[in-house]
Structure 1
Amino acid sequence: MPDARHPTDPLPRLDTLGLRALVFDLDGVVTSTARLHFGAWKALFDAYLETRDGPGFAPFTEADYMTLVDGRPRYEGVAKFLASRGIELPHGSPNDAPEAETVCGLGNRKNIHFNHLLTTQGAEVFPSSVRLIERLKAKGLAMAVNSSSRNCQRVLETTGLLPLFDAVVDGVYADEHGLPGKPQPETFLAAARLVGAEPATAAVFEDAVAGVRSARAGGFRLVVGIDRGAGRQALLDGGADVVVTDLGEFNLD
């Protein structure tokens, strides 16, 4: 487990660590689509629970989002949340209709909610994250995205960020290649491999505890936690070497 950095300790300079590549989670790190994902999950689960339990149902909360679904593949997130409420459904198939009362059916229903929010509200980016990517890409570092979302490609295209990245590993790629999702390390390892980097020469940037655990299990040179709500200590306990609240805290001058 890495030592907890005191908040006043200087951050490491990313251009002096011998890194060849940086691997970024997307939601909550580069883009602020986490709010869209939370909204989509809440719309899904609140409607489902109200139908199942009646008007006195306990709603889906931000704490549920952070601890049970954030950073996980969609169907795994469905199963995790339902299990936390003592609900067990058949897994079903990814081809299930959104109306199906299966894990996959609910997951597909969540995707409809997310795409509606993405279309109507759009995705915002964190300018400081984009600046860091642009500055270090100009210094010759390779850039990759590792997102559990199957909507990753669409978000990158709609925000104009796709040209910044040399490789994208998302939920679609993971399914096609049979890779387990976070907190297992395989998707981060695949992203590094696609840009020709070993974990010992790559850094990972994550806002979810599951993602931090994934990167730590992969043996990456540096694991940076971005605290967008998961909590500094939770990210450190998960395996982050350092935790920041914004990537603008790194000195690139």
Structure 2
Amino acid sequence: MSLPASTETNTPSVEATALSVRAVLFDMDGTLVDSTAVVEQVWGEFAARYGLDYAEILRTSHGVQARDTVRRFAPAGSDVEALTAELGQMERTRTEGVVALAGAEAFLRALPADVVALVTSADRVLAEVRMRAAGLDMPATAVTAESVTRGKPDPEGYLAAAALLGAEPADVVVFEDAPAGIAAARAAGMRTVVVGDGGGQAAEGLPRIADYSGISAVVSQDADGRPRIELSL
């Protein structure tokens, strides 16, 4: 099965990159799904309630678990678990403006289900809500916030996903957009493709795409019957 490359992309300054892998792991927010409007709205309300630095919250919260951000910024003595649950409920009930990145649906459909995993700092319910709102199928394998003891930038989630798919880290490619997620993928020893124009210093030297509209994916099988995915970015 193959997904033909488009003749034109918005990929910023990247040479053609070929990758041969056995598994493909995706972050969600900012990588498969654009949920910027909801995220900014919810964290804006949180910042306003407590008189916090909204810009600093946005700068540091992307890609990490909500609980970690609440713990970092909430006033001393706050009920971190209750606040996290409240913010999570706000996010789960707001889906206006949540859309898939260009080409994401076709790219996911071009990949065998048993080589794909979602690794997100969102909990399972929120992940399902956002993927559905964006018109994307939830991968059968997903490592969500409640599945790990340490969130990104710790590599636990990515290593767990690779193990679930039966792939060694060196045979995995990760698509990520946030500094914390990129750091997690690199710490896991996985090749990493940066999605979008962010990523900060963690993204230096990595291949980058604007979206998935210019990716070619060809799936074959090795002599032992295991799938091999040839990607051209």
Taking structure 2 as the reference length, the TM-score comes to 0.77
Say which structure is richer in helix.
Answer: 1
Instruction: List runs of 5+ in structure 1 lacking aligned partners.
Output: 1-6, 50-57, 91-100
**1:173 is aligned to 2:147:** yes
State the one-letter code of the partner of 2:137.
Answer: L
Of 207, 221, 224, which residue of structure 1 is paired with 2:193?
224
Contact 1:123 1:155 in 2 (8 A): yes
SS at match of 1:210: helix
SS at match of 2:93: helix
Q: Which residue of 2 aligns with 1:132?
A: 107
Instruction: List runs of 5+ in structure 2 lacking aligned partners.
Output: 1-11, 218-231
Q: Which residue of 2 aligns with 1:94?
A: none
State the one-letter code of the partner of 1:64.
Answer: I
State the one-letter code of the partner of 1:226.
Answer: V
Indicate how the Cα distance of structure 1 residues 126 and 79 shifts in structure 2: closer, same or farther if over 3 A, else same. same
SS at match of 1:224: strand
Of 224, 243, 251, which residue of structure 1 is paired with 2:208?
243
Indicate how the Cα distance of structure 1 residues 147 and 11 shifts in structure 2: closer, same or farther if over 3 A, else same. same
Q: Deviations over 1:198-224 (max 9, x none)?
A: 11111001110000000000001x201
**1:13 is aligned to 2:18:** yes
Q: Which residue of 2 aligns with 1:24?
A: 26
Q: 2: CA distance between counterparts of 1:117 and 1:209?
A: 25
Q: Deviations over 1:175-215 (max 9, x none)?
A: xxxx3110000001111111121111110011100000000
Contact 1:11 1:250 in 2 (8 A): no
Contact 1:235 1:243 in 2 (8 A): no
- Name which structure has the greater RCO, CA cutoff 8 Å, separation 6+: 2
**1:45 is aligned to 2:47:** yes
Q: 2: CA distance between counterparts of 1:8 and 1:37?
A: 28
Q: How does 1:62-211 map to 2 (within 5 A)?
A: 64-65=57-58, 67-82=59-74, 87=75, 89-90=76-77, 101-118=78-95, 121=96, 123-135=98-110, 137=111, 142-150=115-123, 151-162=126-137, 165-174=139-148, 179-211=149-181
Q: Which residue of 2 aligns with 1:234?
A: 201
State the one-letter code of the partner of 2:146.
Answer: V
Number of aligned positions between the proteins = 205
Q: Deviations over 1:45-70 (max 9, x none)?
A: 21222xxxxxxxx6512x531x3211
Q: 2: CA distance between counterparts of 1:224 and 1:190?
A: 19
Q: Deviations over 1:74-131 (max 9, x none)?
A: 110112334xxxx4x24xxxxxxxxxx322222222123212322xx16311131222
State the one-letter code of the partner of 1:168.
Answer: A
Say which structure is richer in strand.
Answer: 2
Contact 1:22 1:141 in 2 (8 A): no
State the one-letter code of the partner of 2:63.
Answer: G
Q: 2: CA distance between counterparts of 1:159 and 1:244?
A: 19
Q: Which residue of 1 aligns with 2:222?
A: none
Contact 1:68 1:81 in 2 (8 A): no
Indicate how the Cα distance of structure 1 residues 217 and 47 shifts in structure 2: closer, same or farther if over 3 A, else same. same
Q: CA deviation at 1:8?
A: 4.5
Percent identity, please: 24
Q: Which residue of 2 aligns with 1:60?
A: 54
Q: 2: CA distance between counterparts of 1:9 and 1:226?
A: 12
Taking structure 1 as the reference length, the TM-score comes to 0.72
Q: CA deviation at 1:23?
A: 0.3
